[in-house]
Structure 1
Amino acid sequence: MVNGESFMMVLVLLCTCAFAFLNGFRDAPNSIAVAVRNRALTPTYAVLVAAFFTFVGTMLSTSFGVYLISAVELNVPTGVPGMALLLSALLSAGAWGLLCWWRGLPISSTHALVSALAGASGAAALLGDDGVHDAWRMLAGGVLLPLVFTPILAFIVSYVLVIPVTWLVRHSTASDVNGVSRAGQAVAACAVALGNGLQDGQRTGAMLTLALVTAGAAQPGAIMLGPQLLGATCLAAGVLFGGWRIAHTIAYRLVTLDPMRGMVAQSVSAAMLFLGAMLIHLPISTTQAVTSSIVGAGCNQRFESVTWNQVKRVLRHWVATPLVCAAVGGILCLAVHPLIS
């Protein structure tokens, strides 16, 4: 391996680790924001358990086959062109994630990365190079389908599930309901963190493995233990630092929830993440599952508790994510091409 290829490989691996850290940093509020708001968990303990279960979920994730990115690892062009493609995708998805974090907006890191990969692949094809084969099919199955499926299902299930839960506790006192709900919400928060590791953690390890395969430093095949462990560590480290800007949006700006509805919302989110990872093998966005579940449960109250202007603002950014990241990924790939030619 020549020095240029070695440099590119190290750069791509560093950017992948940084993206994994940012992913955990941004996704930490998904599992703990409402639990902290409802005093089911203290902030310090919430972050610690979220990081632990995210790490565990990441290490377990390869057992369930959520192969959104590693499924195309044999089709990424090898050598410097392939690493330039990966670098363009990582930089564009990371920049969009940072901008949305600064604005307190929960968006899907997976959608950003896959869209950026598709955009960079399209740019590479325009230049006459090989791109990621089946990139547009990956965009449809990994971004567009979950973008429609996840929010609608999470919203409807959470809204409907509030009805039987409310009926079951109709004879209980408010203090009893809140106490049990807070305990249930604490468990559900841990389950969401585990589900987040199962979903996003697998793709982090896949990207690290993909970078090594593209650089010729590893043979194509299953995700290796080393990259998976490194990805799990970076993801969990990001959770430990926690992006509280997004937590404030999820817990305070979107909807006002009592502990019972918070428990319902997070239980639905965790169930969707587990089903997506273990049964239907569909990449589910933790951000979209949690946010939509919270809004759905919050809608089913006697008083208006949802701030719809904020919800619409979040939805606009969900729709904008694939468009912006694909465009920026393509532009970066075009800009990098003269430097590697």
Structure 2
Amino acid sequence: MLSGQSFMMFVVLLCTCAFAFLNGFRDASNSIAVAVRNRALTPTYAVLVAAFFTFVGTMASTSFGVYLVSAVELGVPDGIPGLALLLSGLLAGGAWGLFCWWRGLPISSTHALIAALAGASGASALLGNDGVHDAWRMLAGGVLLPLLFTPLFAFAASWVLVIPVTWLVRHSTASDVNGVSRAGQAVAACAVALGNGLQDGQRTGAMLTLALVTAGAAQPGAIMLGPQLLGAGCLAAGVLFGGWRIAHTLAYRLVNIDPLRGMVAQTVSAAMLFFGAMLIHLPISTTQAVTSSIVGAGTNQRFESVTWQQVNKVLRNWLATPLVCALLGGILYLAMHPLVS
């Protein structure tokens, strides 16, 4: 018969797998939305290649030291109190992600999870218990800094890069430009999926490992192959099902974008994800990188192509995500505390 701690561990593992599936389900749109709209990829082929490269990126992510949710970084209390913290964060972040998907709004799953964990840690401290070690530093470095840096850089880089690219093709015919751009966009979409695996995939494996370490079923250390493989499978499975509500927002509601600018946007997004994973070791939100790049590239046109009302709506939800998830995480932990104390 399972002990209370073992049962709690399995619940946390199950919720982590569900969160990973939801993450892939929502983030599938980031790599394929504009590529499908511009007919660079068919919907079926798009989700297949996106799932494949997400899986590959997740398995390759163990080679890179991305700043992530890990057993070493978090310092979660051992036993049931620590598992309750993890469960509160997963449920709060997952609920907000599901709500935003239903409304067709792209938000960062990573930011939602980290903020929810920070909120649960704050609630634990309020009760006089141990929480996540350095939770507020984690919130600042894992959410607030990327939230400021990613959209601004992605928008500016895409807007600027459109200038030399359009200059290079100024003597080409529209059909030639569109044909080459669609091919480039297909490659860039695969690169974004690979970058998404490098970023989000590693955090999924780390959460699974962290649940095992917190429950005493594994020793702290490097991410193990088993949890990483399970996380990669859940993330890729979510991509296969594809969250088309968000894809519709990215492809049709935010900006009217041609294949050339779509290629530029996807290239900038992929470069940022690789840069964050391999060089600066910072969690870059795939959602924010792709969305901001699309808007940035689409803005650099002779005619007004951006629906700023929709863009502002997305921005408001990005800003609301840390606040809402921290609050939800804290409330869930307070509600759960009498049951696990």
The TM tier, using the shorter chain, reads over 0.9
TM-score, normalised via structure 1 length: 0.99
Number of aligned pairs? 341
Displacement of 1:128: 1.3
Match of 1:248 in 2: 248
Choose 112-121 or 71-80, whichever is displaced more: 71-80
3-state SS of 2:107 partner: coil
Q: Which stretch shows the higher mean deviation, 64-73 or 123-132?
A: 64-73
How far apart are the structure 2 equivalents of 1:72 and 1:153? 30
Does residue 51 in structure 1 map to residue 35 in structure 2? no
Q: Aligned partner of 2:309: which letter?
A: N
Q: Cα gap change, 1:71/1:334 in structure 2, threshold over 3 Å: closer, same or farther?
A: same
2:265 paired residue number = 265
- Cα separation, 2, equivalents of 1:68 and 1:130: 20
1:157–1:268 contact (8 Å) kept in structure 2:
yes
Gapped runs of 5+ residues in structure 1? Answer: none
Q: Is the 2:74–2:135 contact (alpha carbons within 8 Å) kept by the matching residues of 1?
A: no
2:161 is aligned with 1:180 = no
Please give the per-residue CA displacement for 1:7-55, whole angstroms capped at 9, x wherever unaligned. Answer: 1000000000000000000000000000000000000000000000000
Contact residue 71 and residue 209 of structure 2 kept, 8 A: no
Q: Counterpart of 1:215?
A: 215
2:148 alignment partner, SS class: helix
Q: Which residue of 1 is the match for residue 288 of structure 2?
A: 288
Q: Would you say 1:151 and 2:161 are equivalent positions?
A: no
How far apart, in 2, do the equivalents of 1:183 and 1:71 lie? 41
2:257 is paired with a residue whose SS is coil
Question: How far apart in 2 are the matches of 1:39 and 1:71?
Answer: 43
Whether the 8 Å contact between 2:72 and 2:220 is mirrored in structure 1 is no
Shift of 1:72: 3.8
Where do residues 123-142 of structure 1 align in structure 2 (5 Å cutoff)?
123-142=123-142
Q: TM-score, normalized by length of structure 2?
A: 0.99
How large is the Cα RMSD of the aligned pairs?
Answer: 1.0
Aligned position for 1:231 = 231
Write the distance in 2 (CA, Å) between the matches of 1:2 and 1:229: 25
Match of 1:332 in 2: 332
Q: Match of 1:3, as an amino acid?
A: S
Runs of 4+ in 1 over 3 A off after TM superposition: 71-74
Query: Are the equivalent residues in 1 in contact too, given 2:74–2:134 (CA < 8 A)?
Result: no
Task: Show structure 2 runs of 5+ residues with no match.
Answer: none
1:2, distance to aligned residue in structure 2 (A): 6.3
- Structure 2 residue aligned with 1:313: 313
Return the offset for 1:129.
Answer: 1.1
Task: Give, in angstroms, the shift of residue 73 of structure 1.
Answer: 5.1
Q: Which residue of 1 aligns with 2:200?
A: 200
Q: Which amino acid in structure 2 is aligned with residue 314 of structure 1?
A: V
Identical amino acids, percent of aligned pairs:
87
Partner of 1:117: 117
Matches within 5 A, 1:67-78: 67-70=67-70, 72=72, 75-78=75-78
- Alpha-carbon separation, structure 2, partners of 1:167 and 1:74: 48
User: Deviation per CA, 1:237-286, whole angstroms, max 9, x where unpaired?
Assistant: 00000000000000000001000000000000000000000011111000
Deviation at residue 83 of structure 1 after TM alignment: 0.3
* Deviation (angstroms), 1:75: 1.4
Partner of 2:302: 302
Give the residue type in structure 2 aligned to 1:283.
P
